[in-house]
Structures are given as structure tokens and as C-alpha cells.
Structure 1
Amino acid sequence: MSAKSSQVDPISLKRGPQNSPRIDVLLATYNGETFLAEQLDSLFVQTWTNFRVLVNDDGSIDDTLNILDRYATEYPGKLLWERNPKRMGPCNNFAALMRRSTADYIAFCDQDDVWRSDKLARCMERLMQVEMQCGSDTPILIYTDMKIASSDGTILSQSHWRRAGVRPEKASFRNLLAQNLVTGCTMIANRALIDLAIPVPVDDVMMHDYWSALIAAAFGVLQPLRDQTVTYRQHRHNVVGAGGGLSWIQRLRRLRSDPELEMWLTAAALQAEAFLKIFGTRLDEADRRALVSMTTLPKESWQRRNINLLRHGIRRTGKLNHLQFLLRL
């Protein structure tokens, strides 16, 4: 039987949860007592009911473990949590969850957001449509837009993509070398992508979602869903905040001195080296050359950086977004 013919018809999923594949929702926690219950509440009202929540706690000393215990009792078999023997950090923690998962599909979950009740259903419907077309052995990643909220839940932006000035539909592997467009809490991926992504070289990658997105763009399907399925909570404890929203004064100051960009370039170069080492022989020549150019970018002059980006087609999506990037270099 071919890969395509073995897929579940997305329309048949509406007949009941018994027909739907299982999703592992991967949740990394650390001192998340303030917002964790609200996030979990939004998971357990999902219209897609065939899922379980795998949790790795990274050494919380607040009430996080009691909250996890309470929900594990209320939803037996639906929430399974473990505590890491030592502190791992968010990227390593999510990478461990990817190794722990046995489901055919995974969705990353942060501890402080709110999911729309049809998030899993909307993303899975699109993913399975792509699998019907391309086969389940194709690495597939579906990701969505999100709303941005303050710590008290006040909506600051109805669209992260619009706020950041990005155009996800234009994204390619070389676009992603210049900017990650995939926010982990909005994405869902199939087993073909997971198997290719693990083990994640956590010492060299910027984040687990960025690594997964690069793999999907290089070897499979990376597809945006223009819908806000998550309310992303922006607060002072975020590990990675939602980009965009800078004032023009802040942007002008960046042109004079931008240590944040220099740190990003160094991290991007390290990630490019890791990707090249693992997947270099599988890439087409144009993508491989672009990847090689990223590994040397931090050491080059402003002029040389711009020449190499132009030569290899490494650019951010959205004209203004890319222009700001070039000026910051």
C-alpha cells in the first residue's frame, strides 16, 4: 500500500475521536505556577480529543508540581509528567520530550499561553491534507499565527505576523537562515520530521522549533496556516519573546550599536555548522552554499555580509523587515 493511500481521510476525522490519530503535546515547565493552570485548561477543552500531554519539569520550586499532580489526577492517562534529574534549560528539555514521544504527531506547548479550542483540530486537518498529497514519509511542519497578550491577558496585537512584518507564505530554507518564522507553541509536526530532527544537537542549535523548521524547509513541507490559534503571553520571564513592536527610536538606536544582532549571528553560524555537519550531503547545491556562507557571517565586514546574503538569496520575508535586517548588519 502506498504512503498516500494509507492516510486517514481528514473528513473522516469528524466521525469521532476513535478515528483520529493521537498527538503528543510536549510541555516543558519551570516555575510556571502563575499561568500553567490556564494553559492546561485550554488544552483539555480541545475539540481534537485524542491527545496526551507529556510534561518534563526542569526543577520547579514553586507550585508547578502540585498543579501538574492535580491535572494528572483529574485527567488520568492524559497528562504524564516527569521531573528532570538536573536542570536542562528549555531547548534541551523540549529535545528530551521529542525523544520521549511515541506518537505519530507532536505539538509543542509553552506553560504560559492559551490555546484556542480548535487549535489541534485546525492544524491536524491541514497536516493530514498535506500527508494525503505527499505521503506520511515526508517531513511536515504546520505552524500558525498568534495573538500577543500582556501578562494580565490584555491583547496587544491581533497578529504576531503582521506586527513583525513577516510573510510566512514566502518562506524557504534560505529565508529561514535569516530569521525563524516558526513559533514552537503554534506548530504541529509528523513522525517523519521528528525522526529526522532527533537527537537535536542542543549545544549548537538556537531552539528546538528553529531546528525543526529548517529540517521541514530543507527536506519536506513547511506550511503556514494564517490563523491565530494561540494567545501568546508576553511577560518578563519569557525565554524567547515575540519579535516586532519596536518603536522607530529603538530601531534607529539599533543601527548605531546592536550587540543583540551580533549574538544572533554567532548563534546562527553555530547552528548552520551543525546543520551542515549532519545534513550537508543531502542538501541541494544552492542551499548547501548558502549554509556555508552563514557559518562565516559573524567574522565578515558589513559590506561582505551584505554581498554574501545577496549572492546566496538569504533574506528575511517582507521588504521592510529585510531592509531593517540589512541596515542592522
Structure 2
Amino acid sequence: MAPTTAVRALAFHQPDTALRVTELPGLDRLSDTERECCVRLGIDEVRADATLSAYDLAAGAAHRALGEAGLTAADVGALIVIEARAPQTLMSSTATRLQSQLGADRAVTFSVGGLGCVSLTPALLAARGLLAADGDMDHVLVAHGSKPPTPLRYRHPVTVSGDGGAAMVVSRSGPIRILDILQATNGAYWDLFRVEYRDRPTDQWREECREITGYTFTLAAETRHRLREMHRRLLERNGLDPQDISCYLSHNLSTGAFRFTEEALGIKISNTCFDTLRQYGHLGPNDILLNLHAELGSGTLAQGQRAVLLSASPAAAWSMLLVETGDGAATHYL
């Protein structure tokens, strides 16, 4: 068993410009049903800046994360970039571009993705594996820039996506210990949501659901089952009871999605998630990082307390992270 890894620093790069959901471009072209669903998600506004690319957002967060950790680019043993949903160019490498901009010349560099909102999990699994396999490596930098692939930020009937970058330094020690990581996938839903883009101008791109009932009923039923089983397994293999968990943080889709998760697991999602959902909307893999950062900032997650971070994607993929605050001397194992 590999020794536990930890989050040494978290940082974000958010646009200054806020866009009210009631003023979303293209909202007037939606059906009455779609518009009503959009404004009832529990999202008041999102951050949006057309001058910032997904790369710009990731790079801004990465620079800040190194500063928060008190590190230089030369200290980074590995750089993992979570892929944008719509890269600016084909055949180029965003990961090595960021490596060059940071000056992280000695870092093992690559990208991960393909799981939508859950794509943070393979990044953390890779970071854990690198630290366990290489005793000379101390720090892994993970970065992602979240930007919707289409001009219409509303994904019917799911959420509204904003712009934002997030980065984290994963190390052998730090104020947030990552005690366990679970991930599950089901390829039956690989194209439940998709954007047809070949031979289409960007302004005609639109995210479409192959089958609404497949999302609202079939996938919902499987998500309920998957989350319950993963929650049971997470607690069981770490020798914990439900009362040992002080806080549950979720990815941000809608208030309805929060209520669904609460009912499925018999838990209470932190109010922090409702606040960030209202202010930022959905930020893909960055959601749970933003919520964890906000929860720690509120002071409600005390030293030595544990939190479970949940995420799900219509890809379909599901993940759970077990974290503990404090950098005490106790040894933990994954």
C-alpha cells in the first residue's frame, strides 16, 4: 500500500466578469420548457470572459498554486494537465505548452481526461502513482481550465457552465490528506451528451443529449446505485462509520442534483456547494476543488475532520475522494 498523498496548495483563476443566467447568450432561442429549466437550476450567474481560453485559465491557476505552495517550477516533479473539452487546436500539446510557460523543464508532463467532471480523479490517481513509484519526486502540479465547448452555456436539462481555472500541488505532506480515491465508469453512456463540430462554424456548436429519458431516468437510477455502493465501500475499507464524516462536498450541477445525492446517500451536502453553485455555476472537474477551498476558508472543517468529495459525469463516470484536514504525524494508507 502506498503512503497517503496530500494537497499542499489549491489555487484558482476566475474571470472578473460575471454573466447573469437570465442574460445568457442564446437563451431567447430555447423552448419555453428549456428556459424554465435553465432558470430553476439554482444558478444566478457564472464567470465568463471571451478573451480567456481554457489554457489561459489553467495557466493562471498553475502559477498561483506554485506561489501558494512556496515552490518554483524547478521543484515540480510532474505536471498533469486535465484536458479541455474543446482544445483550441488539434495535434498540439497543451500540457507541454504549460510546462514551457512555467519553466518546469524537469517535470514528467502529460494530460488526462475523457471523463468530463470526473477527470480530476485520474489526475489524482496518476499523481499518487508517480509519488509512490519515484522516491525522488516530491511535488506533482495538476491544472485544468474549464470553459464550455459551445457558445450556449446551458446544457439541457443539466446545468449552466462558467469559466474558471484551478490547480493543485499534490505532495507527500500537506494540510489536506487524500486518504482514498474511488472511481467507476460505464461506457454505455459514452455519447449521451455530445457536440457535433466537424464542418460547422463554432457559433453553431451545441451540446445535445442523445436521449433525455436516458439521462433523467436510466442514468439517474444507475447513479443512485453507484453512489450508494461507492459510499459503502469507501467507509468500509477505511474502517469508518457515517458519523466519522464531518462534511460532504459535491460537484456543482443544480440544487436538484444536490437533493438527489442527499436522498440517495442519506447525507447533507454542505451549504458551501449551494453558495458556489449560485455564484459560479458548473466548472467541470474544478467544482469539488472550489468547494473544498471554500469549505476550508469558512473554517467549518476543523483540524482532523474528514470530508467526502463526490463527483459524477454523464460520460458516465463516478468518483469519491476521502480527505482529512491537518498535517499531523499519524500515518495513513491508501
Q: Provide the TM-score with structure 2 as the length reference.
A: 0.32
Larger helix fraction of residues: 1
Task: Specify which structure has the bigger relative contact order, considering alpha-carbon pairs within 8 angstroms and separated by 6 or more residues.
Answer: 2
Larger strand fraction of residues: 2
